[in-house]
Amino acid sequence: MAALIAENFRFLSLFFKSKDVMIFNGLVALGTVGSEELFSVVAFNCPCSPARNYIYGLAAIGVPALALFLIGVIWNNHTWNLVAECHKRGTKNFSAAATFLLFGSIMGRAAVAPVTWSVISLLRGEAYICALSEFVRPSSLDKFPAENGAEVLATFPCKDVPANLTKFRDEVTRRLRYESQLFGWLLIGIVAVLVFLTKCLKHCCSPLSYRQEAYWAQYRSNEDAPEVRSRILAAKNVKQFFGFVALDKEEKELVQEFPVEGVQPSPQWNAITGVYIYRENKGFPLYSRLHKWAKGVEGNGPSPEGHEMLFLAS
* pLDDT band, very low/low/confident/very high, at 312 (cuts 50, 70, 90): low
Helix 112-124 vs helix 20-42: crossing angle, to nearest 10: 40
Question: Residue 303 — pLDDT band, cuts 50, 70, 90?
Answer: very low
pLDDT in tens, 23-63: 556 666 666 666 666 655 557 788 888 889 999 999 999 99
- The pTM assigned to this predicted structure is 0.72
- Give residue-wise pLDDT tens across range 54-106: 999 999 999 989 999 999 999 888 888 788 777 776 666 666 777 777 888 88
For residues 117 and 47, give the distance between their C-alpha atoms in angstroms, rounded to a whole number. Answer: 21
Report the mean per-residue pLDDT for the chain.
77
Say which DSSP state 71 is in: H
- The residue type found at 76 is N
Give the amino acid at 193: V
Tell me what percent of the chain is helix, strand and coil, each rounded to the nearest 5.
Answer: 70, 5, 25
DSSP state of 308: E
Confidence class of residue 14 from pLDDT cuts 50, 70 and 90? very low
Residue 76 and residue 110: Cα distance in Å, rounded? Answer: 8
- What's the Rg (C-alpha) of the chain? 28
The Cα 232–Cα 128 span in angstroms is 55
- How far is Cα 108 from Cα 312, in angstroms, rounded to an integer? 13
Main-chain phi, psi angles of 197, to 5 degrees? -65, -40
Cα gap 100→308, rounded to integer Å: 15
